C-alpha cells in the first residue's frame, strides 16, 4: 500500500502544491528548522558521574523529528545537524561544536541520530504516531538504535578516568553507556508519545482530515 505524504504531521499541516520549487523550499525550511530544534534541545544537558555522555533532550528531538517529518526528511535533518556541528557551529551539548565530537566519546550516539530518525519516521509514516500506545511502539526502536550505536562506541574510544582512558568491554560499555540513561529516555519516549497524538488531535480540529 502506498504511503501518502500527508501521513506525516507537517505534510498534513503544509500539503505540497503544484510548484516543485515551492515544495522544495518548504522541505528545505522544514529540514533545517528541525536541525535547529535539535540543536536547541542539545543545550538542555547535564553530566552524571562515571560516564562522559551527558543527559540531554537531543534524543527527544530525534524522535519528534522522525515522527513529524517522516523517514527521508527526518534522517536528512539529523545529517544536517551533524554537519552543522562538524563545521564548528555550537549545536552539540553544552554549546560545543567541531568534528572532534563525532569521533569522541559521544560520537556513536551522534552518528545514530540519522538512522534513529529515519526508522522512527518510517514507522510513523504508517500513521502509528496518532495514538499513544502505537506512537510509543513506533519510537522505541529509535531509542534502541541510539543505544546500539552509542554504547559499543565506548569500547573503541574509551572512557576518561582520573588515571587515563579506560577501555571497557561490551558489557561494561552497556552498563556505563546505557543503564544510566534508561529512566530519562523512558520519560522522553513517554513525552514524545504524548505530544504527537496531542498535536494530531489539535491540527485535525483546526483542519479536518481529508477523505
The pLDDT value recorded for residue 47 is: 84
Main-chain dihedrals φ then ψ at residue 164, nearest 5 degrees = 125, -165
The pLDDT value recorded for residue 6 is: 56
Band of residue 18 on the pLDDT scale cut at 50, 70, 90: confident
Q: Quick one: average pLDDT of 40-59? A: 88
Band of residue 15 on the pLDDT scale cut at 50, 70, 90: confident
- Cα distance between the two ends of the chain: 16
Q: Quick one: average pLDDT of 122-141? A: 92
Please state the separation of Cα 9 from the chain's center in Å: 16
> pLDDT > 90: what percent of the chain?
67
The pLDDT value recorded for residue 119 is: 97
DSSP assignments along the chain, one per residue: -PPPGGGSHHHHHS---S-HHHHHHHHHHHHHHHHHHHHHHHTSEE--TT-SPPEESHHHHHHHHHHHH-HHHHHHHHHHHHHHHHTT-S-BGGGB-SGGGGSSTTHHHHHHHHHHHHHHHHHHTTTGGGSHHHHHHHHHHHHHHHHHHHHHHHHHH-EEETTEEE---HHHHHHHHTGGGHHHHHHHHHHHHHHHHHHHHHHHHHSPPP-
pLDDT in tens, 171-182: 999 988 899 899
The pLDDT value recorded for residue 13 is: 85
Range in 15-24, 28-37, 97-106, 165-174 the model is least confident about: 15-24
Q: pTM for the full model? A: 0.91
Amino acid at each position: 500500500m502506498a504511503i501518502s505524504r500527508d501521513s506525516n504531521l507537517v505534510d498534513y499541516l503544509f500539503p505540497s502544491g503544484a510548484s516543485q520549487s515551492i515544495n522544495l523550499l518548504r522541505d528545505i525550511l522544514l529540514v533545517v528548522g528541525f536541525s535547529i530544534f535539535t540543536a536547541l534541545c542539545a543545550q538542555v544537558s547535564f553530566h552524571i558521574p562515571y560516564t562522559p555522555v551527558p543527559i540531554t533532550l537531543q534524543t527527544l528531538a530525534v524522535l519528534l523529528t522522525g515522527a513529524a517529518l517522516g523517514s527521508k526528511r527526518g534522517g536528512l535533518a539529523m545529517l544536517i545537524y551533524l554537519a552543522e556541528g562538524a563545521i564548528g557551529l555550537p549545536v552539540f551539548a553544552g554549546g560545543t561544536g567541531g568534528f572532534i565530537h563525532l569521533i569522541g566519546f559521544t560520537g556513536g550516539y551522534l552518528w545514530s541520530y540519522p538512522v534513529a530518525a529515519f526508522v522512527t519516521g518510517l514507522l510513523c509514516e504508517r500513521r502509528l504516531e496518532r495514538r499513544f500506545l502505537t506512537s510509543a511502539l513506533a519510537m522505541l526502536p529509535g531509542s534502541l538504535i541510539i543505544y546500539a550505536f552509542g554504547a559499543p562506541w565506548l569500547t573503541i574510544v574509551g572512557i576518561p578516568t582520573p588515571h587515563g582512558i579506560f577501555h571497557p568491554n561490551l558489557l561494561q560499555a552497556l552498563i556505563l553507556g546505557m543503564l544510566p540513561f534508561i529512566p530519562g529516555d523512558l520519560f522522553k519516549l513517554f513525552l514524545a508519545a504524548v505530544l504527537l497524538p496531542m498535536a494530531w488531535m489539535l491540527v485535525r480540529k483546526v483542519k479536518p482530515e481529508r477523505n
